[in-house]
Homo-oligomer: A and B are copies of this chain.
Amino acid sequence: MALFLSRYEGRIDRKGRVLVPAPFRAAVADQRFGGVVCYPSPVELAIEGCDLARIELLANSIDSLNPFSAENGAFATTILGKSHQLAFDPEGRVSLPEALVAFAGIAGAMWFVGLGKTFRIWSPERLAAYEREAEKLARNEAGRLALRPQGVAT
């Protein structure tokens, strides 16, 4: 599965296209699907993205609940139902759906922030505000994070 690191500035051109940072493209280059999947973050006012394999994993995890349970429907509708499979054009650009751009409050500029298995796309203002809080939290909680060897890789 892909690994997204570091951060890069992005910009919407006048045709609605956004160049995905080259290192993020390289992270998904060896996959069946040449592109990324984006959806509104369930916890922040930002777009979240990952590779298709992770979304398939999520779909399988949801499906392994009772297929007709209320939780199943709720998760699937709020995440999978708002996901967009975005293919790269030959130059590595995608067109971000209007709904996601509006959700994240993006107008022109944006930041791609790598989070490992996923990444987020933030409006510059919201990222700045978020980071002030995130740094405090990370400093306080850093002692709790355990590195756990992976038995099953994905």
Binding site for B on A (CB under 8 A): 3-7, 23, 37, 41-44, 54-64, 67-71, 73-85, 113-118, 120, 130-131, 133-135, 137-139, 141-142, 144-150, 152, 154
Contact = CB atoms under 8 A, between A and B. Distances in A.
Nearest to A65: B145
State the oligomeric state as a number of copies.
Answer: 2
A89 to B, nearest CB: 17
B43 A73 contact: yes
A64 B83 CA distance: 22
A94 to B, nearest CB: 14
Given A57-B147, A131-B77, A141-B74, A68 B83 contact: no
Contacts of A76: 114-116
B42 A84 contact: no
7 contacts: A5-B81, A6-B85, A61-B146, A64-B148, A77-B130, A78-B135, A81-B114
Contacts of A120: 77
Contacts of A75: 138, 141-142, 145
A68 B78 CA distance: 13
Nearest to A137: B74
Contacts of A118: 67
A83 B7 CA distance: 8
B116 A62 contact: yes
B149 A154 contact: yes
A113 B56 CA distance: 16
